[in-house]
Amino acid sequence: ISRGLICNSKREVISFLKENNYYRFTGYAKLFTKPNSDDFIEGLTFQKLVNIYIFDSELRSLVNKMVAQIEVAVRTQLAYNLSNKLGPLCYKKKEFFIDEEFFKSTNKIIKGEVNRASGEPMVKHFKKSQIPFWVIVEIISFGVVSKLYANLLTEYKKVVSSGTYYAINYSYFENYLNVCTSFRNHCAHRSRLYGRKFTTAPKYTSKEKNKYGDLNIPQDYFIKSGSNATLFEYIYISFKKHYESYFL
């Protein structure tokens, strides 16, 4: 309040902050401070910040639901294409991967996840040493799925990226997985989406860059340089392929 935030009732603010961590809430408030100052812009009300906070929570729930659908589809396509091409135990064979140490660390994580999921029917159905990849992709995290793909030899990355119904170039598919994983993690940890600069930068094709003008998208929706990305870019990159048919 001393920094210029307009509040109708101190009691209302205190009641809100008892249920919502101050440092979570001030992440939104900092977006409305004056340049080089902790003071808030003129006319900023507590209710406006609460409305944005609620909006962000609802947006996060919607995004989380949509990313979850993409995650299931990616796991399915990865499992089908790799298992079909390289066999059900392909994740255990280092000759399919680039970095041997990374391959070993990934398999160590997989082993730990198998042990944790040992009571699951789909795991109990197989001997621990013979669990097929289509089961493995269902018990490892999406982050590990992304890392496993990144460590594949290029020819096998192409098998996956061209074999999925997304049909994305393998280098763009790797970036796509990184962006989706980052987006998913922010949602899962209830992190702020509104006004955030995301640290994993999307990778655009020249066709997409030229398309922005046709769509009449304001240029400030995009970060032109560096390794950051806006919320708009994350939504665009994450959902453009999976939901493309809805907009054609």
d(CA 75, CA 13): 44
Amino acid identity, position 17: L
Q: How do the pLDDT tens digits run along the chain, 248 residues long?
A: 999 999 999 999 999 999 999 999 999 999 999 999 999 999 999 999 999 999 999 999 999 998 898 889 889 989 999 999 999 999 999 999 999 999 999 999 999 998 988 888 888 888 888 899 999 999 999 999 999 999 999 999 988 887 665 677 888 888 888 999 999 999 999 999 999 989 888 887 776 665 554 555 555 666 665 568 888 888 888 887 666 644 44
d(CA 231, CA 217): 14
Closest CA relative to residue 146, chosen from 66, 67, 232: 67
d(CA 49, CA 192): 13
Phi, psi of 127 (to 5 degrees): -70, 145
d(CA 42, CA 33): 9
User: Which residues 6+ apart lie within 8 Å of 61 measured at CB?
Assistant: none
d(CA 220, CA 55): 21
d(CA 140, CA 117): 10
Would you state the pLDDT for residue 105?
A: 94
- Which structure tokens are listed for 94? 């280092």
User: Which residues 6+ apart lie within 8 Å of 205 measured at CB?
Assistant: 169, 172
